[in-house]
Structure 1
């Protein structure tokens, strides 16, 4: 049986390649039916902000990758509620409705559920 993996995405979509790499890993894991989850933490929650204009920053839009996650069988999607609040985002208006918003104390339990954790 494959080990479960949690990817923690901590970078905003425009701060470098980390956000894209995290999504690529999760999509690849989902394509191979691996037990994989994705947690948006710290500035990583900016990936979930609705109506981003990536072109203005000369970046590629990640919203299509986010919307593809459920199609690839990735159902374990989480976002840190404290990170969302600190960055002034509305938890009810996230671009990825499937993401379950967790309180800070729930994140420790989430991490403990997985065999492997990768932070980008």
Structure 2
């Protein structure tokens, strides 16, 4: 089975990037692709609970994140250093995620067949 890692690098609600990444991940999973999601830099804020995007005029993504398990997407990773630098911890995230130190990210990335960056 092929695998795809969706690497998210943009802060939430700064563009359509978050929604596009999630749509592509869900579509891939629906076709049997093993999907992983990685959040780097300000993208870790995409996973923060209790966001209010109303001022941005962009669609709320929390319901989409919550539907990941319906598509059997459970491989969600965040860069541990990026999370800590932004004052966040795993308990503040909307969905379960694995925090990996930056030193382990190359191994994670190399374990996937396809990489898509948003």
Residue 61 of structure 2: aligned partner? 62
Deviation at 1:20, TM superposition (A): 1.0
- Aligned equivalents of 1:52, 1:65: Cα separation in 2: 13
TM-score normalized with structure 1 length: 0.91
Instruction: Compute the RMSD of aligned alpha carbons.
Output: 1.2
TM-score normalized with structure 2 length: 0.93
- Aligned equivalents of 1:59, 1:4: Cα separation in 2: 29
- Aligned equivalents of 2:93, 2:54: Cα separation in 1: 20
Residue 48 of structure 1: aligned partner? 47
Uncovered stretches (5+) of structure 2, i.e. residues with no partner? none
Residue 75 of structure 2: aligned partner? 76
- Confirm or deny that 1:105 pairs with 2:107: no
Deviation at 1:3, TM superposition (A): 2.5
Residue 115 of structure 1: aligned partner? 113
Residue 29 of structure 2: aligned partner? 30
Deviation at 1:62, TM superposition (A): 0.4
Contact 2:4 2:114 in 1 (8 A): yes
- Aligned equivalents of 2:90, 2:72: Cα separation in 1: 23
Uncovered stretches (5+) of structure 1, i.e. residues with no partner? none
Deviation at 1:65, TM superposition (A): 0.6
Contact 1:9 1:119 in 2 (8 A): yes
Q: Which moved more, 1:82-91 or 1:5-14?
A: 82-91
TM-superposition CA deviations, 1:89-116 (whole Å, max 9, x none):
122221112x111111111110010111
